Amino acid sequence: MQENESAIPQGICSIPLLSDSWHRSLRYGLARSADDFPRLPQGELADRIAGHARLEHVARPIASGLAQQMADKQAVVVLSDASGWILHTFGNLSALHGAQRAALAPGNLWSEDGRGTNAIGTALAIADGCEISGGQHFLAGNRHLYCAAAPLLAPDGRIAGVLDISGPAHFSHRTTLAQVQAAARHIEYLWVTQARLPQQWLMRLHARPDGLDSADAGLLVFSEDRLAAANGQGLRMLALDGSQIGSATFGQLFPELAQSASRVPLARRSGGWYRLDGPAQRSPAAAPAARGPIFPFATSGEGDKLVRLLNAGVSLCIHGETGCGKEFVSQALHRHSRWHEGKFVAINCAAIPESLIESELFGYRPGAFTGASKSGYVGKIREADGGVLFLDEIGDMPLALQTRLLRVLQEKEVAPLGDSRRWPVNFALVCATHRNLAQRVADGEFREDLLYRLQEFSLTIPPLRGWPDLPGFIHQQWRALGGEDRNIALAPPLVDALAAHPWPGNVRQLRSVLKVLLALADDGEILTPQALPAGYQPVNEESEERRKDHDERLIAATLARFNGNISKAARALGVARSTLYRRGARAAGGE
């Protein structure tokens, strides 16, 4: 039963942030004595973690370091998604009280409507950082807990999750909120710099020129002259809303700079300093004239042909090995097409559980099913209205949903789950798969009529090892990941070694190796092949021949010492008998 709002303590009423949160908690119908909370089953938790892989990848090193800093306060660092579900907990959970230890483990829900006033849930509710200490928590069971949290913005401006510090309230936490907010800014900074594409250019903003390369800098990423991404600092500096990403132009944001087409490495503007980093550091006015081939594996003519097809409303289907860059190509098409003012909306049909993919694609009205958001959800198809819808791994879409998708493509209307209304939509469609769709049709697992609708034009991306200018693409990716921002150079022998690798995992594998190099390198370093992880370093044939010769002589000497006894020689060398046989050894005596 809902508690009387007059029961809110006077100390809470005097603080607007707490008072508002407690009133919301009461309106949710929560009881202060509640102690039974939802927890995700392991399978659903694994799916949710997989769906936030990019957030986790960027946040993990920062969160781990922060957890080490907070160890003396017996506190842990928590990473949640935008719904308040805990994805990861960093630090020593065993240092906490038993109930707190269980509540702060992955899979627990800490939204405000689930646990009342708490740092994670309240940070999500107000879209800002906050700290909640002891009895300020709505639930009596959390009265011994201190929490400080800050929301994390993805480069597209949406709240992707929350970074939180939680620990015993009896420790001093004078700087804890500032620490978690600084860590959140660092995560957002890394996310934007790592997600930036080679064709995009970056504007850095700061009050001081020496702060332009710090995590406190505002970052604005532009595709030609349109705002494509930003960190929270950048949005706050210009008083922008995340919804303006994808629509605001450079000319609207900086009318006094929009006409400049010259090289501007560093300059002062009202309120501080800015620097433009991009293709040849051109300003946005010069960027349209700087176009080269859209795709690194194709000529500019081939890329232009694909753009014309997309502009004409022709559905494209991209084939290629896993990790070969199908989404990279689709994003490039979006940026260069007439659909660039709309959103690029991607959904991986193989990564979303079959029970959720229908609501993800088509949306749902409030209360359409158990667990549905109270505000409903428009769905990916309506989000893509006016832009590009990218359906990755389309060959894994369930048959039942194929029928609904076909109807949407034919009628250009979508009906959310539980809603009798139909909403008109207009978008360009790009799908991708590594499967043989014709074979899927023959096996009865894919609709033939949908295949013809999706594959009006087909494109096959060659594997990375077959691209004509692989060294150039490696340098592009290094810039996109931020290597040049840190003045870290790839020595020519290292680039040659990377270009010679077979890359069975294609672009995804290459980017992973480059990220490892970047994470382990010091600013200003020149990386040689010795910096490559094991398995990627070039083989020195002369050294390899010397090693084989040494091994053979050692094996021969050991066999002679044991009178040709293979078993004894193998034990002495610490290898299997089969290894000696493979190296050409022959038993001279009995076993």
The full DSSP string for 466-511 is G-TTHHHHHHHHHHHHTTTTTT-EE-HHHHHHHHHS--TTHHHHHH
Whether 384 is covered by a domain: the verdict is yes
Whether 16 is covered by a domain: the verdict is yes
Total domains in the chain come to 5
Of 441, 424, 422, give the one whose Cα is nearest residue 433.
441
Residue 379 has pLDDT above 90, yes or no: no
Of 210, 262, 212, give the one whose Cα is nearest residue 237.
212
Query: Are 530 and 537 spatial neighbours (Cβ–Cβ below 8 Å)?
Result: yes
Amino acid letter for position 245: I
Give 364's strand partners. Answer: 377, 417
Query: Helix (H, G, I), strand (E, B), or coil: what is residue 527?
Result: strand
Both 189 and 204 in a single domain?
no
Decide which of 170, 193, 216 is a domain's last residue. Answer: 193
Average pLDDT of the chain is: 84
Both 282 and 350 in a single domain?
no
Report residue 139: phi and psi, to 5°. -80, 130
Both 443 and 470 in a single domain?
no
Whether 536 is covered by a domain: the verdict is no
For the ranges 30-34, 213-217, 291-295, which has the lowest average pLDDT? Answer: 291-295
Instruction: Give the pLDDT of residue 340.
Output: 85
Residue 333, both tokens: 């098409």
Both 408 and 303 in a single domain?
yes
pTM above 0.85, yes or no: no
Both 62 and 207 in a single domain?
no
CA–CA dist 87, 45 (Å, integer): 8
Look up the domain containing 487 and give its range. 464-531
Rg (the chain; Cα; Å): 28
CA–CA dist 457, 428 (Å, integer): 13
Both 477 and 367 in a single domain?
no
Q: What average pLDDT score do residues 88-103 get? A: 86
Instruction: Give the pLDDT of residue 271.
Output: 64
For the ranges 132-146, 224-238, 278-292, which has the lowest average pLDDT? Answer: 278-292
Both 126 and 165 in a single domain?
yes
Both 172 and 79 in a single domain?
yes
437-465 per-residue burial string, b: 16 or more CB within 10 A, e: under 16 = beebbeeebbbeebbebbbeeebebebbe
Query: Helix (H, G, I), strand (E, B), or coil: what is residue 180?
Result: helix
Whether 587 is covered by a domain: the verdict is no
Query: Are 238 and 253 spatial neighbours (Cβ–Cβ below 8 Å)?
Result: yes
CA–CA dist 163, 123 (Å, integer): 10
Q: Residues 422-459: pLDDT tens digits?
A: 889 899 999 999 889 999 999 999 999 999 999 999 98
Residue 334, both tokens: 């979006």
Instruction: Give the pLDDT of residue 124.
Output: 96
Residue 293 has pLDDT above 60, yes or no: no
